[in-house]
Each structure stands twice: as C-alpha cells, then as structure tokens.
C-alpha cells in the first residue's frame, strides 16, 4: 500500500501528544486527519503527506458523522485510528466530586472512543488497520483525587481488549505514554494540590522542577511505530511507550 494513499486519524491533534503524533505520521509519509475542538497549529511535513484538519468534538454524535465523512472524502485507506483526546477532570476526592463531572469524564475518555471506533470499523477492517488508545499508568495505579481519570483509563484498557477479541482483522493496543510535558501537567500543578495526596503531588512537582518530564515526541514515535508495524500478537495489550515489544519492532 502506498503511504501517500494512507490516512491516520488522530483525535486531540491540536496540541500535546496528539500534535506530536500527527507530526510523526507526516514525517513517515502518512496523511493525517487531525481531529480537535480547536484549529491546530500548522504542522510541517518533509514528505508529500498532508495534514487535514477536522474541527469536531468527539462527544458530539453529529461530529462523529462528520469525522467519518471527512475520512471517506479523502479517498484514502484509513490504516490507523489514534484515540488520544482525553480529560483529567475532575480532580476531586470521591466524597466531594460532582457526579456530572464524572459522567463527562467517561463520555470523553471511554464512550467517545467506543463511538468513534464503531463508526470507523468498516474502514479499519478493510485496511486491516490498527487502533491505538492512549491510556495511562493511572489505569493500573490509583492517585488520590483522580478517581474519574483512573477509572476511565482502566475502562479504556478493557475496551481495547474487547476490540481485540471482537475484531480479528484489527490490531488494538492501549499505550501508556509516560509523564509527558503537556497541558495536563500544568493542570496538575495548578489545581491538584488540594485533592491529591501530598507525596503524589510532590512527585509531579519534582518532575517539572528537575526537567525530567518526557517530551511529547518520545511517546509519539512509539505510537506511530505501533500504528504502522504492531503485529497481531500484540492486539489487546497495554504497553508503555518504552516497552521491549515496541523496541523490537523493525528489528
């Protein structure tokens, strides 16, 4: 398959990890349909690949139709769906949290992933494509004040396993991107102190002050490698961005 006729769909593509993933696809010669609620900054391509912006809210059913139509309109083969859009909100202890904010967390982090994947399944089956869901280490280890985020990312891991079980033509993987220097970290530092446990909050403060937060380009490269090369044997797995399974690809 010619890469110039291949399309990757990336949600949350306007900034952070999503933007870095879109940029890496372009470097690899893969066209990108970049889905975001705001217009992304201009991305540079050293290849013939193109970035196609799609302003959409993944929690809006009408917008999901527009995403599908935009992908079909390109006439390209959809080889990958990267479900990257997500939210940390609410940062709150369970005893204090507003339940509507919990519902919104699951709408963004879980339901929207299922809904968009469902819409795109016919295209992904046709290409024997891959679905990469951006998860978190919080899916397997609780943080005080992050109950909605932890629970929704744990649910996302199970959704990934379910896709892998139900869709034999598709490879589905959940990826832990590590602690990345994005807007989410800014939110943690500015809003997390009251709800988080002191030692957990201090860990994120230290990563920032010591300059040891990951740059988005590192997990982005791992995502794109999986999206282009992950074998069927990896389907359903939850892997870290620097896992041996990813290191072994292309070797």
pLDDT band at 32 (very low <50, low <70, confident <90, very high): very high
User: Catalytic: which of 14, 136, 143, 149?
Assistant: 149
Q: Which CATH architecture has domain 3-180+215-241?
A: 3-Layer(aba) Sandwich (3.40)
> What is the reported pLDDT for 181?
87
Tell me the per-residue pLDDT of 139-182, one tens digit each, with 9 for 90 and over.
999 999 999 999 999 999 999 999 999 999 999 999 999 999 89
Residue by residue, what is the 3-state secondary structure of 87-136? CCCCCCCCCCCCHHHHHHHHHHHHHHHHHHHHHHHHHHHHHCCEEEEECC
User: Catalytic: which of 14, 136, 143, 153?
Assistant: 153
> What is the reported pLDDT for 4?
61
pLDDT tops 60 at residue 1: no
Tell me how far the alpha carbon of residue 60 is from its chain's centroid.
18
Scored b (16 or more CB within 10 A) or e, 107-130 reads ebbbbbbebbbebbbebbeebebb
User: Catalytic: which of 36, 77, 105, 135?
Assistant: 135
149 is an active site residue: yes
Does the global pTM surpass 0.85?
A: yes
Contact yes or no for 24/223 (Cβ under 8 A): yes
């Amino acid at each position: 398959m010619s890469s110039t006729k291949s399309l990757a769909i990336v949600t949350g593509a306007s900034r952070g990890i999503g933007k870095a993933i879109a940029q890496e696809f372009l470097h690899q010669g893969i066209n990108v349909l970049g889905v975001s609620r705001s217009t992304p900054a201009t991305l540079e391509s050293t290849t013939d690949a193109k970035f196609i912006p799609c302003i959409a809210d993944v929690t809006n059913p009408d917008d999901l139709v527009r995403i599908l139509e935009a992908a079909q309109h390109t006439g390209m083969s959809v080889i990958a769906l990267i479900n990257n859009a997500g939210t940390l909100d609410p940062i709150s202890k369970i005893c204090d949290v507003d339940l509507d904010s919990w519902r919104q967390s699951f709408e963004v982090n879980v339901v929207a992933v299922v809904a968009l994947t469902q819409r795109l399944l016919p295209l992904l089956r046709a290409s024997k494509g891959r679905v990469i869901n951006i998860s978190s280490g919080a899916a397997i280890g609780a943080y005080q004040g992050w109950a909605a985020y932890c629970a929704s990312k744990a649910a996302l891991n199970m959704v990934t396993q379910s896709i892998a079980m139900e869709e034999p033509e598709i490879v589905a993987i959940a990826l832990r991107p590590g602690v990345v220097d994005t807007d989410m970290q800014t939110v943690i530092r500015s809003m997390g102190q009251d709800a988080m446990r002191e030692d957990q909050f201090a860990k994120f403060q230290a990563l920032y002050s010591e300059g040891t937060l990951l740059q988005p380009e590192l997990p982005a490269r791992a995502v794109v490698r999986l999206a282009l090369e992950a074998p069927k044997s990896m389907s359903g797995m939850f892997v870290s961005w620097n896992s041996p399974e990813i290191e072994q690809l292309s070797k």
